[in-house]
Structure 1
Amino acid sequence: MFVLPKIEAAARTDVGLRRRSNQDSFGTDEELGLYVVCDGMGGAAGGEVASRIAVDTFLEIARQELLTLNDKNADCTRCALTRAAAAANRAVLTRANFDIALRGMGTTLVAARVTGDSVTVLNVGDSRAYLFTANGASQLTLDHSYVAEQVRRGLLTEAEAERSSFQSVITRAIGVDQDVTPDLYDATLTPGDSLLLCSDGLTRHVTREELAQIVTDTANEPADETCARMIALANAHGGSDNITCLLLRANPA
C-alpha cells in the first residue's frame, strides 16, 4: 500500500561571513503546504525590503487563491502560485516606485506547494530547488542568470561559469519589470525524499553532491540540523553571501 509522506519542515538563514546585513527572507504556511525563499537585491535596505515584501505578498495571495479554488490538483496549484508571484512582483515594484530610496530593488523567489505526494515548484531568478531521493540529487529549477543561460547555450563551460565575474547577474527577478514570467515544475515526494529551497549563498559554495551527502548523513537527525550543516559548510567554503535553506523532509506518515 502506498503511504503518503508526512512533511517535516525546517528553515535557517545566516548573514554569511562578508555581508553586513541579511537580504534573504523565507516564509511558510504548513497548513496549506506553502514554502518560499527570496534573495533580495538593490542595496542593504532595498534587498531586505524587497525580499520581505515578496515573501509576505506571495504567501497572502497564494492562500487566498488556494482557499478560493478549494482544490488540490496541480493545475489549481500552478494557477495560484503564478498569481501569487505576479502579486509579489507588483507589490515590490509599487513600493520601489513610491520610495525613491528603494528604486531598483528586487528579489529572486523560489517556492513550493506540497499536497500529498505532489510538489509544484515555482522560481524566478537564481534561488534553487533541489530534490533528494534514493536515486540521487537533482536540481529541479533552472537559474535565470546570465552565466547559467550562457552555459545552456553552449557559450560557457561550467568551469568558466564558476569563475565568471558575472555570476551575480540575474536575468529575471521579482519587482524589476511590470510583468514577470516564472517557471513551474512538478515532482513527486515519497517517504525518504527531501526537497530543498535555497538562496545562491548556499549554492555558490556547496555542490549538489555535497548537499546530497549532508542530507544522507543527517537522515536520522532533525531537519533543522541538516540546514545548520549546510550553512556551516557554505561558511567554511567562504560564506560570501547570505545563506538560506528551507528543507522539507518527507517522513512516513
Structure 2
Amino acid sequence: MNRRFALALAVVALLVVSAGCLTYINDGGEVANETLDAEPPQAYDFATDRDTAINLSTGTRYTAVYNVSGVDEIRFYRQTPYTGDQPFEFEAFRYQYPDGEVVNGSEFRARGGEIDRTPDETWVRFDDEMDGGRMAISASGSPRRFTTLTYIEGSYVVTLPPGFSTDMPIVGHVSPRGYEIETIDGRDQITWDSVTSGSVVVQSYRETDLLVFGVILVIAAIAAVIGTVYFRRQLEELRERRRQMGLGVYEDDEDDE
C-alpha cells in the first residue's frame, strides 16, 4: 500500500514538473506579428506631451502611448499574488520615429527592434537608430477599475471615457496622489507631473451608475427595516406563547421591553 502511495506521489510530481516545463516553453518566444500588426481600437495620440498617455474606453480595451526617448528596452509585466510576475500581453504595436514616421510591429522588427515574451515578462528592445521616438500599444482594461505599472518614469495622463468620473468617494478612487483633473471635450483627464515607481490606479464610474447605486441602497434599507420588524413580531409572538403555556418570560426578555 505504501509503495502504491509513493508511486502515485511520484507520478503527480512528474506531471507538475512537466506542466511547468511546458508552460515555460509555450509562454516564451516572440509575440506573433499578426498580434502586433492588429488595428488599434482607436487612433493613437502620438502628439501628447506626456511621457505616458493612457486613453480608456467604455469597451474592454485601452490604448497607451509611451515616450521612449533615451530608453533602450522596456520590461512589460504584471504582478500576481500567487504565481509571481507574468508577461503583460498587448497588441496593435506601433512605433513613431522622431520625424513622424509610424511603423507596425513586423516592420519594427525588420528594422532591428525586438519584441520577445518569456514566462515572466514581455520585452521591447529598441535599435540604436530608434532613439527619440514613441511607442503605442493596446491592451485589456476597464475604466471602472484600471491599473498599470509604471513602465516609463515621468509625466502621466489618463483620459476617462465620456460620462465617467472619479469625484464620488468609495466608487471613485485615484492613486498615486498629487494628481490634477481637468475636463476637456467632455472627458476627465487625470494628470501627474511625475510618477517614478509603483502603479497608477484609477477607479471610475459612469455618472448614471449613481442612480443604480442609490436604488440598491434604498432597497437594502427597506429590506433591513422589514427584516427587523418581522423579527420583533416573531419574538413577541414567541413571548406570548410562553405566557399562555405558563412558562413565564425570562428576565432578559422583560428588560428588552
Considering the TM-score relative to the shorter chain, is it more than 0.5?
A: no
Give the alignment's TM-score, normalised by structure 2.
0.24
- Greater RCO between the two (CA within 8 Å, min separation 6)? 1
Give the alignment's TM-score, normalised by structure 1.
0.24
Larger radius of gyration: 2
